[in-house]
Structure 1
Amino acid sequence: MATTKPIPQGAHTLTPNLVLRDCAKAIEFYKKALGAQELMRMPSPDGKLIWHAELKIGDSTFYLNDEMPGMSTAAPSPEHPAPTTFWLWTEDADAAYRKATQAGATSRMEPADMFWGDRCAGVADPFGYSWSFATHVKDLSDEEVRRAGAEFARQWEQQHQRT
């Protein structure tokens, strides 16, 4: 007798689920902007909504569905974005940023080297979600990160006292 696995094969312990308005359009955007691969799509019986879809970016899967009043939380929007950012590790943060902005994402942070050793960039998608792209470019000791962080904080404070 076979036993059912409590966590499905290939699933990670934590899997985000994005609630959207126009999930079908979002799926096509994520394919173009983020290189997502569509694994499955389950439309409602009338075909007007997507009850559940699964996309994969790199080695990570995430779920999506259309907003369904009374059954899920409200979808975010560009005017009322989700208070969450998805962090994507990539071979080339600059290229990922360019691809996303060319597909219609709005720049939130142009690619830049960060004090902790990563090159990062950020965008907002047309559906109210934020995405950060990161490429690890430099290995640093804990002490090097601490010193660089302190210098970053000092400069940040100086810049924001003037404004």
Structure 2
Amino acid sequence: MTKSKVHPVPDGQTCFPYLSARSAAEAIEFYKRAFGAREDSRIPMPDGRIGHAELSIGRARFFLSDEYPELGAVSPETLGGSSAAVVVYVEDVDALVAQAAAAGATIDRPPQDKPFGDRAAWLRDPFGHRWSFASRIEDVSPEELQRRLSAV
């Protein structure tokens, strides 16, 4: 049996966050402005909702659709919060956070150096999704991390 490659998986990524929003079209435009996302594909449905969209921030790819409550796909807006977050590594976390704040993201925790070697920030988008953006600033051995954590 020969398998055809219908849709290639990006190199190195095999797990994809799948977000739902009350207005996926508005979310896509926000992600473009705030995070520099690229829209790779969009599948509109006959009822006007977006059935599936694929976006990328650098090499990190994620999926998005409008809410489909009949299928259990609801947004953090409908749920009243989110227990999950999307973590994305970027070249310059400070620049991305400034861009995202200017586009309307809420900064929950501003960029700060972490003992594990990242400079990281936490944001919330206008659709209720939680995001962490980080830049690697140094490689830290497990022993050094333990030393740093013990000193706190």
Find the aligned partners of 1:26 and 1:32 in 2 and give their Cα distance. Answer: 10
2:39 matched to 1:43? no
TM-score (structure 2 length as normaliser): 0.90
The sequence identity of aligned pairs, in percent, is 42
Summarize the alignment of residues 97-108 of structure 1 with structure 2, pairs less than 5 Å apart.
97-108=97-108
CA drift of 1:73 comes to: 2.6
Q: For residues 13-36 of structure 1, give each alpha carbon's deviation from its aligned partner in whole angstroms, at most 9, with x where no partner exists.
A: 211110111010000000111111
- Equivalence for 1:25: 26
Mapping for residues 55-66 of structure 1, pairs under 5 Å: 55-66=55-66
Q: Compute the displacement of 1:86 (Å).
A: 1.0
Is structure 2 residue 105 aligned with structure 1 residue 126?
no
- Give the whole-Å Cα distance in 2 for the aligned partners of 1:31 and 1:143: 39
Q: Which has the larger radius of gyration?
A: 1
Structure 1 unaligned regions, length at least 5: 153-163
1:134-160 deviation digits (Å, cap 9, x = unpaired): 1111222211100111223xxxxxxxx
**Aligned pairs, number:** 150
Report runs of 4+ in structure 1 exceeding 6 Å deviation: none
Mapped contact 1:82–1:128 kept (Cα < 8 A): yes
Counterpart CA distance in 1 for 2:62 and 2:79 is 23
Unaligned runs of 5+ in 2: none
Residue in structure 2 matched with residue 9 of structure 1 by the alignment: 8
Does the aligned pair in 1 maintain the 2:60–2:88 contact within 8 Å? no
The residue number in structure 1 matching 2:87 is 87
- Give the Å deviation of 1:10: 3.0
Contact 1:78 1:127 in 2 (8 A): no
Q: 1:140 corresponds to which residue?
A: 140
SS for the counterpart of 2:77 is: coil
